[in-house]
Chain A
Amino acid sequence: MKRRLLDLGFQALALLILLLALGSLAALIADIWRDGASRLSWSFLTGFPSRRAADAGIFHALSGSVFVIVVTAALAVPIGVASAIYLEEYGTRSFFARIIEINITNLAAVPSIIYGLLGLGLFVRAMGMGRSVLAGASTLALLVLPVVILATREALRAVPPSIREGSYALGATKWQTVWFQVLPVALPGILTGMILALSRAIGETAPLISIGALTFVAFAPDSLWSPFTVLPIQIFNWVSRPQVEFQGNAAAGSLVLLALLLTMNAAAIWLRDRYQKKLS
């Protein structure tokens, strides 16, 4: 009887802990809603920074975020998918492939600010890109590459080997099999991985600060070479100011950022479901 009580007590404790965690999430959302909802408006979304908190907007940061993410995707997805195809379809069991695998697992756990220092030394300085959108996107692409590779490998592994066999038996080459049979089936998984990676990238602050994304930018970036800022950095900038008015802006910016993330994840789920319907 006593043991049963302990058991129940244990369960209750565990549930309590989980509720605490969930409650923290709720508190977080409630807090930024309370602080920032009133600042949300069309002029906030389309406005530029200003010394007066009430006039400040996030357009420069929002467009910077979108621009950087698009370029990041354009860099990370082809390279990541290609790497995963190599590791999964061509290089299995070779010594070199194993080294690459271990390396990727390691890279996935390196702090993001280290990637910022890499970007600073390599892209901004050595390759002369300056503090540009391209340097920022390249840095983020390296950061999310392991995520894309790992997700793509999972997706490729889930393709039944019988499909590959059927293709080879008809006289298809390896690349024909990969391109015409394996990739189409793996596509939903790859897309999901891509969105996961981009969700991570859009919330990243530290690496972009390191490569010199500006915190005082009053324009939307117009080319790969232009300086830029992103939404998380703008939020950081506002939250660092002592004036209380800017905190409301930071909260509102956070709400926009969270909404963006929610949309991206919803899009990922929708895309994946649509493709799975197509296949079955």
Chain B
Amino acid sequence: MSKAAIVPPSLAEVAARSGQQQPVGDRPPKIQAERLNFFYAETRALEDISVAIHPNIVTAFIGPSGCGKSTFLRTLNRMNDIIPGTRVEGKVLIDEADIYGPGVDVVALRRRVGMVFQKSNPFPKSIFDNVAYGLRINGMAGSRSELSARVEESLHQAALWDEVKDRLEASALALSGGQQQRLCIARALAVRPDILLMDEPASALDPIATQRIEELVYDLKKTYTIVIVTHNMQQAARVSDYTAFFWLGRLVEYDRTDKMFTNPSEKLTEDYVTGRFG
């Protein structure tokens, strides 16, 4: 066995191997942030973020702890609104409409832009009721049979159906960590969003469960625009087409994933992806 065989692949090789060559063409960006600033009371957490996120691909946000990547993710579905004392300046356009404009229906926004959290948070209800909740409160399913069909469809999409089809009435809390997270994904997909935001979805999971989530993300991007926050650079390299690197509340660099990891333009980016800090 030669020495070469046991050297772990570099991020560059991972990115190249994963075949993320998705062309984005001339389609208009799905999400566009324009000079977005975000404040927790008097502290500025995000500074002048401008980025265009392309449809039907996976975009990764990377950066060290506290760099603002999760905060920025949460501005995309206005989840930060529920924290008192926060303030936004600038624009976030989704399908070319500013979601922070006057008269925007935040509730409808959150239906279109789904979110999966770092720690899976299934409701203390049955598996069926978890997935059905979004449909019920948004009035999206007429009859019980339609509801069941939509629940089944979502569980299929989240690659969970086979494991739970015989126990839909069982408590969601009885599932394993990885299953709970896939349930949360199914729950988010049930309301048919356009965009799926994922905040470190696999960080609390073991490697096998993580792999299943990553495979799921790869499948889902055909139908959805996915933004995934991750602190794991290998994961970003495996899973994403484009990557944005954040540092201290600023967007440092945003480019195709393979370029970011093989030949980044910024020194800071290069230092981060080669592990010199963070």
**Which positions in A face B, CB cutoff 8 Å?**
92-93, 160, 162-173, 176, 180-181, 184-185, 279-280
Tell me if B79 and A169 are in contact (CB < 8 A): yes
Residues from chain A with a CB closer than 8 A to the CB of B134 are 170-172
The contact of B121 among A165, A171, A185, by CB within 8 Å, is A165
The contact sample of 27 A-B pairs, CB cut-off 8 A, is A163-B121, A164-B82, A165-B79, A165-B82, A165-B117, A165-B121, A166-B122, A166-B187, A167-B123, A167-B133, A169-B115, A169-B117, A169-B188, A170-B110, A170-B114, A170-B187, A170-B188, A171-B109, A171-B112, A171-B137, A171-B191, A172-B133, A173-B107, A176-B137, A180-B133, A181-B123, A185-B124
Q: A162-B119, A166-B121 are in contact. Are A171 and B82 (CB under 8 A)?
A: no
- Chain B CB within 10 Å, residue with most, of A162, A163, A184, A280: A162
- Chain A CB within 10 Å, residue with most, of B107, B109, B138, B173: B107
Tell me if A170 and B133 are in contact (CB < 8 A): yes
- Chain B CB within 10 Å, residue with most, of A162, A165, A170, A176: A170
Tell me if B123 and A172 are in contact (CB < 8 A): no
Tell me if A171 and B110 are in contact (CB < 8 A): yes
The contact of B173 among A93, A171, A181, A280, by CB within 8 Å, is A280
The contact of A169 among B84, B110, B124, by CB within 8 Å, is B110
Give the top 7 A-B pairs by smallest Cβ distance, nearest first.
A171-B111, A162-B121, A170-B134, A169-B115, A171-B110, A166-B121, A176-B137
B108 close to A (CB within 8 Å):
yes
CB distance from B125 to the nearest CB of A (A): 8
CB distance from A49 to the nearest CB of B (A): 51
Residues from chain A with a CB closer than 8 A to the CB of B112 are 171
The B interface is mostly helix, strand or loop, or mixed, namely helix
Residues from chain A with a CB closer than 8 A to the CB of B184 are 166
Residues from chain B with a CB closer than 8 A to the CB of A93 are 84
CA A234 to CA B138, docked complex, whole Å: 55
B77 close to A (CB within 8 Å):
yes
Tell me if B114 and A169 are in contact (CB < 8 A): yes
Residues from chain A with a CB closer than 8 A to the CB of B84 are 92-93
Tell me if A168 and B191 are in contact (CB < 8 A): no
Residues from chain B with a CB closer than 8 A to the CB of A166 are 117, 121-123, 184, 187
Residues from chain B with a CB closer than 8 A to the CB of A160 are 121
Tell me if A162 and B137 are in contact (CB < 8 A): no
CB distance from B118 to the nearest CB of A (A): 10
CA A169 to CA B115, docked complex, whole Å: 6
Tell me if A171 and B79 are in contact (CB < 8 A): no
Known A166-B184, A169-B115; further 19 A-B contacts with Cβ < 8 A: A92-B84, A160-B121, A165-B82, A166-B117, A166-B122, A167-B133, A169-B114, A170-B111, A170-B138, A170-B187, A171-B107, A171-B110, A171-B138, A172-B107, A172-B137, A173-B107, A176-B137, A181-B123, A279-B124
CA A86 to CA B82, docked complex, whole Å: 15
CA A182 to CA B177, docked complex, whole Å: 22
CA A92 to CA B124, docked complex, whole Å: 25
Residues from chain A with a CB closer than 8 A to the CB of B109 are 171
Within 8 A of A (CB), among B140-184: 173, 184
